[in-house]
Structure 1
């Protein structure tokens, strides 16, 4: 029997779901102000302890699509979303909370917040245009705001909003045009300025959240994200977080994360052993399989240690036997060269799409491979 659950909140937000501890075969109903209820089905399986369960039908964010126009690259979009989930796990454990895309901050609201402050838009979080150029120009500091909601069991067989996470995506480089359709200029923003602006904006965002119906006391986690450059091949990273249980922000905590391309000069300088291991991994592939166009790794580090490594290997051959043999060989090389401390994912692709996927969990010696038909 599927997990059916009717739930709601006293606020304008309607949530459907059940906490992981709820009886999987029990149908429950929670009343709400309008005396209506909404049924939902909790996803049964959890891919791993690092992922949250969700509720079906899946509710898209109230600001859906805005992130694509505001964030510089697909790398940054993915890291912003998945990284905020990692940050959220410090307060909202996947064992006790369900994930819901943001249901409070709408496209209209965020568009106003992300704009410059002006006589017509008092809600703008970015500074007023001072009419100057170059280093004297007042840059756009805040590129995007991402909301994630986390549900938990509030009473027997009922759930409600247990916490909200907010990511403030800050520009490390502000791209602008002096005239419409003219040349694009760059204005660099220092880490110290970026962080200071982010903290100041976080206080304002919290006060606005507290003024929203139903959100006056819910825990709010706010994290500051440093966005990468437009032409970057790796994403930016989260640099600080705090949690507020009341009207004031808590103590800020530094987040030590960074993503590197492997192999690269930066990785060689900061993580020489890992960079050398990856070069050996790449060299062994080149030695026996010349029909490929390159091996690129993106390694994410937490507190100076590799936590995750994603590798892309594009191939020029299409024979199934070759793909099988190549996948088996790469699987062997993972155990030979790459650290067991990091979670690893290898995508082997051809012009037709993904040909094979190899994964290995952190602190595990056994990779798993899947070859697509």
Structure 2
């Protein structure tokens, strides 16, 4: 019989019995960074997919900028978590500890995200020569008809620290994510107001400019005090359009050896997200789309007038890795919600192959109602009904 989490009290008991004793397991270490002092490394790690984070938590220098510069919440989540996933190619989750970027200052990132200016443009805008360090190309056109898009939308830094035999923790490596525009949005002043226009960026142009910018970023990092000798991983992320309901994806990364300013060869990242159902998913992954449509049809048989089931599928190459399904629905009682959740859990086990991870979130106007998670290659799903 499948296991259902129906009572909050039982869940609390389970968590209290199984949860680690953080007070006994945390380790106090000495930092060797600019602000010397004590730090804490949690010994408990919830998964080998994640890094342990140095405490107390220090927000990144560019905190807040990412929200303004990234098009969608989906892009924001994938940009951050995807960069951590890429970091695992260079930094072992068992040996390194995570810290949000502290080395490249927020002011510097803002300046790097600007366009380059000609001498005349810099003088007109009162930009000092030392501040004219934008990584995006000069606009030789007009406001309404720019000569080129802004390619680079955001720079995200993640720091990785290691501990020596004396318990000292110090910076040991860095990953840099470059978010690139697949669509450049810009505002034009018209008749006392503004309108937003857009310019599509072809992938070859985005890739070329991303790799050019990466070389400049590495040179600038190497010229920064204290960063001349650490290994660096730098990755290119293509943002989705503002209207997209699935995120963009990382498409290439490279590494820079300790003490070097030369990029090693670029490695292709073959990842992509699809919306189910959609024409793009149907054309690229017909069998997976059919499985989803059969699941959707069975859900709608429970509620004949309902057709709101959508899925976001994550692929590596041609292989479906993870499918996140959302079912927004209105229940008229808790028992109805329990019955529906039991029914959907059976459909998950029936329609989707064992090698993929499937999660289903059931929501209503009152908030989340239920969560169903079937991990890859596991026979028993986890089901929680919110009280």
Normalised to the residue count of structure 2, the TM-score between the two structures is: 0.86
Q: Within 5 Å, give how 1:13-92 maps onto structure 2.
A: 14=35, 37-92=36-91
Determine the structure 1 residue equivalent to 2:3: none
Moved more, 70-79 or 37-46: 37-46
Moved more, 196-205 or 114-123: 114-123
Moved more, 356-365 or 277-286: 356-365
Q: Within 5 Å, give how 1:137-286 maps onto structure 2.
A: 137-179=147-189, 181-245=193-257, 246-286=260-300
- Asked whether the 8 Å contact 2:188–2:194 carries over to 1, the reply is yes
Q: Secondary structure at the match of 2:297?
A: helix
Q: 2: CA distance between counterparts of 1:46 and 1:332?
A: 31
Shift of 1:320: 1.4
Deviations 1:199-253 (A, max 9, x none): 0000110011111121111111000000000111111111100000121111101
What are the ranges of 5 or more consecutive residues in structure 2 without an aligned counterpart? 1-23
Determine the structure 2 residue equivalent to 1:3: 26
The alignment status of 1:96 with 2:95, answered yes or no, reads yes
The alignment status of 1:342 with 2:362, answered yes or no, reads no
Moved more, 284-293 or 338-347: 284-293
- Asked whether the 8 Å contact 2:174–2:233 carries over to 1, the reply is yes
**Higher relative CO (CA 8 A, sep ≥ 6), structure 1 or 2?**
2
Q: 2: CA distance between counterparts of 1:7 and 1:123?
A: 36
- Asked whether the 8 Å contact 2:31–2:39 carries over to 1, the reply is no
- Asked whether the 8 Å contact 2:112–2:135 carries over to 1, the reply is yes
Shift of 1:49: 1.7
CA-atom RMSD, angstroms? 1.8
Moved more, 117-126 or 144-153: 117-126
Count of aligned pairs between the two proteins = 349
Q: 2: CA distance between counterparts of 1:300 and 1:363?
A: 17
Determine the structure 1 residue equivalent to 2:13: none
- Asked whether the 8 Å contact 1:132–1:138 carries over to 2, the reply is no
Moved more, 281-290 or 194-203: 281-290
The alignment status of 1:112 with 2:123, answered yes or no, reads no
- Asked whether the 8 Å contact 2:87–2:233 carries over to 1, the reply is yes
- Asked whether the 8 Å contact 1:348–1:354 carries over to 2, the reply is yes
- Asked whether the 8 Å contact 1:2–1:41 carries over to 2, the reply is no
- Asked whether the 8 Å contact 2:329–2:364 carries over to 1, the reply is yes
Normalised to the residue count of structure 1, the TM-score between the two structures is: 0.89
Q: Secondary structure at the match of 2:86?
A: helix
Q: Secondary structure at the match of 1:225?
A: strand
Determine the structure 2 residue equivalent to 1:31: none
Determine the structure 1 residue equivalent to 2:371: 357
Question: CA, structure 1 residues 65+136, in 2 after alignment: closer, same or farther (shift >3 Å)?
Answer: closer
Q: 2: CA distance between counterparts of 1:257 and 1:323?
A: 35
Shift of 1:68: 0.6
Q: Secondary structure at the match of 1:80?
A: helix
What are the ranges of 5 or more consecutive residues in structure 1 without an aligned counterpart? 15-36
Q: 2: CA distance between counterparts of 1:5 and 1:291?
A: 57
Q: Say which structure is richer in helix.
A: 2
Question: CA, structure 1 residues 360+235, in 2 after alignment: closer, same or farther (shift >3 Å)?
Answer: same
Shift of 1:293: 5.3
Q: 2: CA distance between counterparts of 1:46 and 1:6?
A: 17
Deviations 1:69-97 (A, max 9, x none): 00101010011011111111111121222
Q: Secondary structure at the match of 2:194?
A: coil
Q: 1: CA distance between counterparts of 2:378 and 2:144?
A: 51
Q: 2: CA distance between counterparts of 1:324 and 1:44?
A: 37
Deviations 1:110-136 (A, max 9, x none): 110001112324210011121247886
Question: CA, structure 1 residues 130+346, in 2 after alignment: closer, same or farther (shift >3 Å)?
Answer: same
Determine the structure 1 residue equivalent to 2:12: none
Is the radius of gyration larger for structure 1 or structure 2?
2
Q: 2: CA distance between counterparts of 1:70 and 1:184?
A: 15
Determine the structure 2 residue equivalent to 1:127: 137
